[in-house]
Amino acid sequence: MSMVNADRVVPPLLPDEHNLLRAVAHCVNDIVFVKDLEGRHLFVNEAGARFFALAPAEVVGKTNHELLEPQTAEAVEATDRATYAAGRELKFEQTLTGPNGTRVFLTSKAPYRDAEGRLIGLLGISCDITERKRMEEELRRSHQETVDILESITDGFYTLDREWRLTYINRRAEEFLRMSRQTDIGRNIWKIYPDAVGSIFQEKYQKVMDEHVSVNFEAEYDGRWWELNVYPKSDGLSVFFRDITERTRACLALTQSEARYSLVFKATADVIYDWDNRTDQVFFNDAIESAFLYSKEKIELTGNWWADHVHPEDRRRVLASIWTAFAGTAVNWSAEYRFLKGDGTYVDVLDRAYIERDSSGRAMRTIGVMQDLTQQKRTEQLESERQHLRDAVAAMETVLGVVGHELRTPLAGLMAMSDYVLDPESAGTPERENFLKGMSHEIDRMSRTVDDLLEAARLNSGRARWNWEEFELEPVCREALETIRPLIDSSKVALSLRFEPGPATMWGDAAALRRLIINVLSNARKHTSAGSVDLKVSSAEFDGARWTEIEVSDTGGGITPEVLERLGEAFALNSGVVGSNFISGTGLGLAICKGIAEAHGGSVHFASDVGRGTRVTVRLRADLEGPAPVRQRLFSGAGESNKEAA
């Protein structure tokens, strides 16, 4: 039926020609159709009928409105109208939905005219491009994905063609290489970076290009380190690269710092340990062998081994301290203790450790240094001795100055007196006789000063010789008293001696003690013009020791507090420290007394009231069977206070 209709409107064709065309039309995959002016299908081929899910004969005579959804039909007719309006062939890309689904067509439509040129309908060919569109879309998306990836990666990326021209640069590469895709795409890379010509970059790129192998290398460029991965491509090569400067630096720094530490580890004389607190394993550096004289192969490298070699007297304290540190939150720990060396001797160590903890605060690892303090202590001791010597030298210089002064004054007198005596014109004068006596007296005095100096020096240096024995105190005190008696005007000053509770014995050097008492009595005598000088000797026991106390009281002028403060300090009163017109003498006498008292385990104390008198108390141990060391520094400056304790 459709054939009839079609035949009716189709221009006259040879029957063969007609059939041929029909046959051809049915064979092609594209849709071929002819419609009349009302939109009715005059012809549709097999492919066209398949779209409608019908046979060609079922389509002929029907409009699109009868065959398709109204929306689709309208869309098709719109293109029909456009074609009629244009009066010529037009091409449309249309997405149409038929019973079998939605397809995309590229359709050519042209007005259909009869032999006389009258418009009688429309003919068209639709090519189903659904697959092609899908493939194109796929390809586009895939390309975009690639580009997106290349744009988003942190590596720099660019591609070169076989003529070394840049064909693509990603954003990172633009940043890294300070290039721009606007200006640099298409440019020869060796022209952009002439300084890279002949470099490792060119060498490696050439290899990739020539041998079609991928290459990975690191190189420095523009002051930074780069890692490059270069891959061959059919039309050139692609380059991935990243900045590894920081990593390289860190790596270098690590290598250097490791080298340093390992050097320190090896070179130090201190024992360094690394103690794994979970396994109790300890790593020691070589100093455990060189300094502590153990063979690493022969010792158990554990914390237990360390603990066993801490001196038994220190062990409890040290272990308690370190376990407390582990149990707490401290990251630092230190202790001083004695540690047993391989040769069986102990070494004083200062152990300082750093405790590493896990997230829960548990001690995981303890790294520490055991420093041998022997050397340090020796140095400290030497330094202290040196300081002692410096002090002693300074004191001796002061003493020499004062001694110079002390001897120069009588020397000047001796010179003047001898000058007078030797002057012939002095013959027979009364002064001549006086000066000869004076000279003799001065010579005695100077001689005594020299003796005192030597004795003080011996006491000071601890080289005094003692004649130690147990002796009766009474005869010693009487002898001293009798030595002084002739110098006292008995009509003005009373001299007395008493013992409390009675005469006693003591251990010591009797001669030295006599000298001490004479000295104290002699001072009292010098400063007492009227009244009394009393010597009282008492014995007592306290604190489980036997003591002798020798007390000399006078009714003399007394001593001012500032003088009292410096009594017994050799030369203090003559060295300008204290100006006084009534104290004369070197001060050596009392300094010697203090030294003697100290050798007897005792001390000398002074109490005085200006205008009323002075009391000197010498306290001595009576039961020392040998001399006590004399610590006193007779020639040094301020010592302990001389004032009697209340």
Partner 1 sequence: MILIIDDVEIFREPIAACLRLAGFETTCAPDGVEGLKKAKELKPELILLDMAMPRMDGISFLRALRDEPALREVPVIALTAVSAKEYVNRAKDLNVCEYLLKSRFRAKELIERVRSHLGQSSRQPTSA
Which spans of this chain sit near partner 1 (rule: CB under 8 A)?
A: 401, 404-405, 408-417, 419-420, 423, 425-426, 429, 431, 434-435, 438, 442, 576, 579-581
CA angle 214, 215, 218 (to 5 degrees): 155
C-beta separation of 294 from 287 below 8 A: no
- Closest distance to partner 1 from the beta carbon of 391 (Å): 23
Q: Which amino acid does the sequence have at 306?
A: W
Count of positions (residues) in the chain: 646
- Closest distance to partner 1 from the beta carbon of 574 (Å): 10
Q: CB nearer to partner 1: give 177 or 588.
A: 588
Residue with tokens 């001689």: 447
Q: Is the peptide bond before 99 cis (omega within 30 degrees of 0)?
A: no
- The whole-angstrom separation of Cα 85 and Cα 94 is 19
- Closest distance to partner 1 from the beta carbon of 493 (Å): 23
- Closest distance to partner 1 from the beta carbon of 610 (Å): 16
Q: CB nearer to partner 1: give 99 or 401.
A: 401
Cβ contacts of residue 437 below 8 Å, gap of 6+?
A: none
Q: CB nearer to partner 1: give 246 or 423.
A: 423
Q: CB nearer to partner 1: give 232 or 413.
A: 413
- Closest distance to partner 1 from the beta carbon of 588 (Å): 18
C-beta separation of 321 from 333 below 8 A: yes
Q: CB nearer to partner 1: give 266 or 441.
A: 441
- Closest distance to partner 1 from the beta carbon of 554 (Å): 22
Give how far the C-alpha of residue 389 lies from the chain's centroid of Cα atoms, to the nearest Å: 38
Helix (H) or strand (E) holding 506: strand 505-509
Q: CB nearer to partner 1: give 329 or 581.
A: 581
- Closest distance to partner 1 from the beta carbon of 411 (Å): 4
Cα–Cα distance list, 155 to 169, 237, 377 (Å) = 11, 16, 61
- Closest distance to partner 1 from the beta carbon of 566 (Å): 16
Token pair in block for residue 455: 């004795």
- Closest distance to partner 1 from the beta carbon of 634 (Å): 22
User: What is the per-residue DSSP string for 229-292?
Assistant: EEEEETTEEEEEEEE-HHHHHHHHHHHHHHHHHHHHHHH-SSEEEEEETTT-BEEE-THHHHTT
Q: CB nearer to partner 1: give 12 or 401.
A: 401
C-beta separation of 523 from 568 below 8 A: no
Other C-beta atoms lying within 10 Å of the C-beta of residue 136: 11
- Closest distance to partner 1 from the beta carbon of 636 (Å): 21
User: What is the per-residue DSSP string for 333-395?
Assistant: EEEEEEEE-TTS-EEEEEEEEEEEE-TT--EEEEEEEEEEHHHHHHHHHHHHHHHHHHHHHHH
Q: CB nearer to partner 1: give 318 or 578.
A: 578
Q: CB nearer to partner 1: give 302 or 580.
A: 580
Q: Which amino acid does the sequence have at 614?
A: T
Q: CB nearer to partner 1: give 440 or 461.
A: 440
Q: Which amino acid does the sequence have at 140?
A: R
